[in-house]
Amino acid sequence: MALFRQLELDFRITAALTPALSLRGTTPSPGEGKSDALAMSSCSASDRRSSNRNGYSCDTELEALARELLRANGAVRIANDVRVEWNLRLKSCAGRADYREKLITLNPELHRHPHEIDRTFRHELAHLLAQFRAGRRRILPHGKEWRAACVDLGIGDEKRCHNLPFPFIERARRFLYKCPNCKRDFPRVRKIHRAIACLACCQKHNGGDFDPRFRLKLCSAAL
């Protein structure tokens, strides 16, 4: 897991909304981010999931649990909007959370490790709860706000990365970006199409808010 993350922000006033987070991915994967047993209901996994044609399937049981947990922790306003899906496109990361969409996405490979499903689900839900509590303020993906949310969701000992034996796919990082201030490199698989700034510099010099002075600059792109 990289020790450094970028701060992403559209130039529109969307500072309150976090981008899709790569959570509990791969073990030491450089791009993406574990789970205590929960007694799942007696219905089978296939009963709980309604598939569509895009590799996604909705988990109505986990959605109901997510709404219950959010309401119990004061996040009533977003409880009815939360969705939980299984996504066949996820490979090495166990799950993701997208606050903009109020969406938790889980890797179907977790069904090979059923004791990990609940903790992974709560790990991702903690991201939504933490950002809800923070409001428009930017927070670190696995910072103190997320850790506090994990405690409230019953996984106080949660780690930022899983150690499940998911397949790891190494992708060439063809685009190299650099912070104009600290000169740190940011290799990326895909070209960046929005304003992204160096998080460390924004925290150090601008209170954690987006600062165009530290917007990442494209240095090279392998063809």
pLDDT of residue 120: 94
- Residue 74: domain span: 16-152
- Whether 179 is covered by a domain: the verdict is yes
Contacts with 92 (C-beta within 8 Å, 6 or more apart), sequence order: 25, 26, 29, 32, 166, 167, 168, 169
pTM for the complete prediction? 0.61
**Residue 119 pLDDT > 90:** yes
Mind listing the pLDDT tens digit for each residue in 10-20?
323 233 333 33
**Residue 174 pLDDT > 90:** no
Same domain, 205 and 102: no
pLDDT of residue 24: 53
**Residue 169 pLDDT > 60:** no
Three-state secondary structure call for residue 85: strand
Mean predicted lDDT score pLDDT of the chain: 77
Length of the chain: 223
CB of 186 closer than 8 Å to CB of 179: yes
- Whether 160 is covered by a domain: the verdict is no
Same domain, 130 and 182: no
CATH of residue 87: 3.30.2010
Region 64-88: what's the mean pLDDT? 97
Look up residue 1 and give its two tokens: 């897991």
What backbone torsions phi and psi does residue 54 show, to the nearest 5 degrees? -110, 15
Same domain, 83 and 121: yes
Region 53-75: what's the mean pLDDT? 91
Same domain, 141 and 185: no
Same domain, 51 and 104: yes
Look up residue 45 and give its two tokens: 């996994």
**Residue 29 pLDDT > 70:** no
Same domain, 38 and 144: yes
Same domain, 34 and 115: yes
Same domain, 182 and 94: no
- Sign of the C-alpha dihedral computed for residues 36, 2, 27 and 222 taken in this order: positive
The number of distinct structural domains making up the chain is 2
- Whether 161 is covered by a domain: the verdict is no
What backbone torsions phi and psi does residue 118 show, to the nearest 5 degrees? -65, -45
- Whether 10 is covered by a domain: the verdict is no
Same domain, 144 and 180: no
Same domain, 47 and 126: yes
Same domain, 143 and 81: yes
- Whether 135 is covered by a domain: the verdict is yes
Same domain, 205 and 142: no
- Whether 200 is covered by a domain: the verdict is yes
